[in-house]
Amino acid sequence: DGHLLEVRDLFVEFHTRDGSAKVINGVSYHLDAGETLAVLGESGSGKSVTAQAIMGILDMPPAVIPSGQILYRGTDLLTLPEDERRKVRGKQISMIFQDALSALNPVFPVGWQIGEMLRLREGMSRADAKRRAIELMELVKIPAARQRIGDYPHQFSGGMRQRVMIAMSLALDPAVLIADEPTTALDVTVQAQIMDLLGELRRDLNMAMILITHDLGVVADVADRIAVMYAGRIIEHADVHSLYEAPAHPYTKGLLESIPRLDHKGQRLTTIRGLPPNLMRIPSGCPFHPRCPYARQECVDVVPTVRSLGNDRTSACHFAQEVLDGRI
Q: How far is the CB of 92 from ligand SF4 (least distance, A)?
A: 36
Q: Does 183 bind Mg ion (CB under 5 A)?
A: no
Q: Does 299 bind ligand SF4 (CB under 6 A)?
A: yes
User: Using CB under 6 A as the criterion, what x/- string covers residues 48-87 for binding ligand SF4?
Assistant: ----------------------------------------
Residue 250 interacting partner from ligand SF4, Mg ion, none (CB closer than 5 to 8 Å by kind)? ligand SF4
Subset of 11-50 contacting Mg ion (CB under 5 A) = 48
Q: Which of 267, 268, 218, 264 is nearest to 245 (CA)?
A: 264
Residue 192 and residue 117: Cα distance in Å, rounded?
A: 28
User: Shortest Cβ contact with Mg ion: which residue?
Assistant: 48
On the question of a cis peptide bond just before residue 81, with omega within 30 degrees of 0, the verdict is no
User: Using CB under 6 A as the criterion, what x/- string covers residues 232-271 for binding ligand SF4?
Assistant: -----------------xx---------------------
Contact 158, 104 (CB under 8 A): no
Among 55, 295, 307, 313, binds ligand SF4 (CB under 6 A): 295
Residue 54 and residue 24: Cα distance in Å, rounded?
A: 13
Contact 6, 30 (CB under 8 A): yes
Of 194 and 227, which has the nearer Cβ to ligand SF4? Answer: 227
Of 48 and 50, which has the nearer Cβ to Mg ion? Answer: 48
Sheet strands (E) in 111-182: 176-180
On the question of a cis peptide bond just before residue 276, with omega within 30 degrees of 0, the verdict is no
Q: Does 286 bind ligand SF4 (CB under 6 A)?
A: yes
Return the SS3 of 242: helix
Residue 292 interacting partner from Mg ion, ligand SF4, none (CB closer than 5 to 8 Å by kind)? ligand SF4
Subset of 127-156 contacting ligand SF4 (CB under 6 A) = none
Residue 289 interacting partner from Mg ion, ligand SF4, none (CB closer than 5 to 8 Å by kind)? ligand SF4
Q: Does 304 bind ligand SF4 (CB under 6 A)?
A: yes
Residue 96 and residue 169: Cα distance in Å, rounded?
A: 6
Distance of CA 15 to the CA centre of its chain: 24
Range in contact with ligand SF4 (rule: CB under 6 A) among 2-10, 22-30, 64-72, 315-323: 315-323
Q: How far is the CB of 298 from Mg ion (least distance, A)?
A: 32
Return the SS3 of 184: coil
Of 48 and 169, which has the nearer Cβ to Mg ion? Answer: 48
Report how many residues bind ligand SF4 under the rule CB under 6 A. 13
Residue 145 and residue 141: Cα distance in Å, rounded?
A: 8
Q: In what order do the strands lie in the sheet with 307-308?
A: 93-96, 176-180, 208-213, 36-40, 225-230, 233-239, 314-315, 307-308
Return the SS3 of 72: strand
Of 95 and 299, which has the nearer Cβ to ligand SF4? Answer: 299
Q: Please give the residue ranges that form the binding site for ligand SF4 (CB under 6 A).
A: 249-250, 286, 288-289, 292, 294-295, 299, 304, 317-319
